[in-house]
Structure 1
Amino acid sequence: MFWISKYGFTHLSYKAVYSFQSLRLFVLFRIVDPFMHFLFFATLASALVGSDYLNFVVIGNIAYYTCHTMIINFMNMFRMERRFGTLELNIASPTPTLYIIIRKAIVPLLDGLFVFGVGILIGRWLFGISFPLSEIGNLLVLFVITLFSVLCFSLLFACVSLLFSNVNLFLNLALAVFQVFCGVNFSVTLLPNSLEFFSRLLPLTHSIEALRTIYGIEAFSVYSLLMKEFIVGICYLVLSLILVSVMEKAARKKGALLKSI
């Protein structure tokens, strides 16, 4: 079976991304690490501005940590492909490259789903952030659109990462940009107009505002925010498809993607 076979595509993709982890260690890491991340920022916010601001920060960091996980997974997947020489095999395969990438995206997608669910549970049981059962439909729609938007950006970022021999610097810069400009710990409306405009071009910004609205922390139009997030995701998807197509044609023409790396 596709999902449970030891030699199935999903299982092999999982082993490629998490070759150093067992399933037990993966589950443990995905619970302890987000727990410490949320606890740190919640404690910092409470110490600086009081506990009334705690829910605002925790909800923002739940969305951010999901995005953080997916970006790292996608980039690592492409980096491992290049390191072990299988990137060229994907290009040479008769199967469309985009189809291969989409199938491999199942693992980061499931990982993001797990992290988001864990974040919601930690917010409920550790910080007492009540889960809005009446808004569960909107929450599911938000989750799907957010993962789509972040997945499209992750694909674009992973493709760009192939242009550099060491992507850790760019990864840290990208995560820092998301942390500051997506309204994770404060509202983007506090930014100057030019920077707020930039933040609206990033995935996650509208999703964080929508998630806080669902939890009753902010008052925006959820559907308007989700539509904007979906449009942002479509734009990144188009850019990703163009970049994948250009890189594939260059690889087929030169016989290698980037000989200098």
Structure 2
Amino acid sequence: MNALSRWYGIVATASRIGFRELVTFYTWRTWVFGWFLRLIAQVVFFGTIGLLSGSEERVRYLAVGNAAVVVCIEAMVVITTTVRERGQGTLALQVAAPADFALTYLARGAYCLLVGIVSSTGVFAAAAMIFRLSMPFPQVLLVPFFLALAGCSAYGLGTAVGALVLRRPGLQWLALNTGYMSLMTFCGVNVPVDHWPAPIAALAELLPLTHALQALRDLLAGAPASTVLAGLGCEALVALAWTALGVVLLERAVAGERRRGTIELSA
């Protein structure tokens, strides 16, 4: 019980610091009328391509896919956290603290995931209204859960990539943009996964979003519960695998910095 209380305290404190950082970047006005509006515009752009094709089903496919990938875009912002910690001079303090660094890192950037779930859900609702998409009720109420699972997978991937760019701060934005664009391209957002050659399609099965998005499409299409749950189970395994890899890479990266005596260097 003492260990659980200690972990809870670490997670709560680190998360609170992360959210405090968020509110220094945005006010509610700049977030709603700046960032959130930009996300809606992105989904409308791709949905409009579906309108040009004259296919209602294509509009639905593009709108749902691009609304779902929003949570991955925001969750993968965690890639920039390690570099920002070095630049602010707080990375050394976190490593020196009597708490597991990987745990504080995951909790510190949790706002990226939580805000991503809110953004993606809001964009999904806006897209459904703008394109007048019919949604099955009450199944549509489960959409945030599917988005949350996809976001967890992307957060794990972002943690792994963030560990890799720890010593190469100049690559952080390239890594972030390449990461989420890869998910948009290969994971069934705009074209089905089986559109790609077999090796790429096989790789997509190991990436975040692929299984959660297909499960979401199955849910909205009225597929059997067993089919939907199978997709969610696969996404959960992908999330666990990427998170575990991210923690291992992060701990190794920090250990390497400590061994070289360079962890105190700013970006």
What TM-score results when the alignment is normalised by the length of structure 1? 0.86
1:229 correspondence with 2:246: no
Match of 2:5 in 1: none
* Larger helix share, 1 or 2: 2
Q: 1:188, CA displacement in angstroms?
A: 0.6
Give the secondary structure class of the aligned counterpart of 2:24.
Answer: coil
Which of the residues 101, 106, 111 maps onto 1:102? 106
Q: 1:198, CA displacement in angstroms?
A: 1.0
Code of the aligned partner of 1:104: R
Q: 1:26 to 1:118 in 2, by over 3 A?
A: same
Code of the aligned partner of 1:69: E
Match of 2:123 in 1: 119
Q: 1:138, CA displacement in angstroms?
A: 4.8
Report if aligned partners of 2:46, 2:63 keep a CA contact under 8 Å in 1.
yes
Q: 1:36, CA displacement in angstroms?
A: 0.5
Match of 1:216 in 2: 221
Q: 1:259 to 1:86 in 2, by over 3 A?
A: closer
Gapped runs of 5+ residues in structure 1? 1-7
CA distance in 2, matches of 1:29, 1:218: 37
Give the secondary structure class of the aligned counterpart of 2:169.
Answer: coil
1:32 correspondence with 2:27: no
Report if aligned partners of 1:88, 1:256 keep a CA contact under 8 Å in 2.
no
Quote the sequence identity (%): 21
Match of 2:17 in 1: 12
CA distance in 2, matches of 1:114, 1:92: 34
Q: 1:254, CA displacement in angstroms?
A: 2.6
Code of the aligned partner of 1:189: D
Q: 1:143 to 1:65 in 2, by over 3 A?
A: closer
Match of 1:91 in 2: 95
CA distance in 2, matches of 1:78, 1:17: 16
Match of 1:45 in 2: 50
1:248 correspondence with 2:267: no
Code of the aligned partner of 1:96: D
Give the secondary structure class of the aligned counterpart of 1:19.
Answer: helix
Q: Per-residue displacement from partner, 1:127-168 (whole Å, max 9, x unpaired)? A: 122333232575354234222212211211222221323122
CA distance in 2, matches of 1:217, 1:161: 42
Match of 1:3 in 2: none
1:199 correspondence with 2:199: no
More divergent stretch after superposition (113-122 vs 178-187): 113-122
CA distance in 2, matches of 1:217, 1:156: 35
CA distance in 1, matches of 2:228, 2:207: 17
More divergent stretch after superposition (204-213 vs 137-146): 137-146
Report if aligned partners of 1:91, 1:251 keep a CA contact under 8 Å in 2.
no
Report if aligned partners of 1:17, 1:77 keep a CA contact under 8 Å in 2.
no
Q: 1:179, CA displacement in angstroms?
A: 1.5
Within-5 A mapping of 1:171-210? 171-210=176-215
CA distance in 2, matches of 1:234, 1:161: 21
Q: 1:218, CA displacement in angstroms?
A: 7.7
Q: 1:11, CA displacement in angstroms?
A: 4.6
Gapped runs of 5+ residues in structure 2? 1-12
Code of the aligned partner of 1:90: Q
More divergent stretch after superposition (166-175 vs 9-18): 9-18
Match of 2:26 in 1: 21
TM-align CA RMSD: 2.5
CA distance in 2, matches of 1:18, 1:247: 29
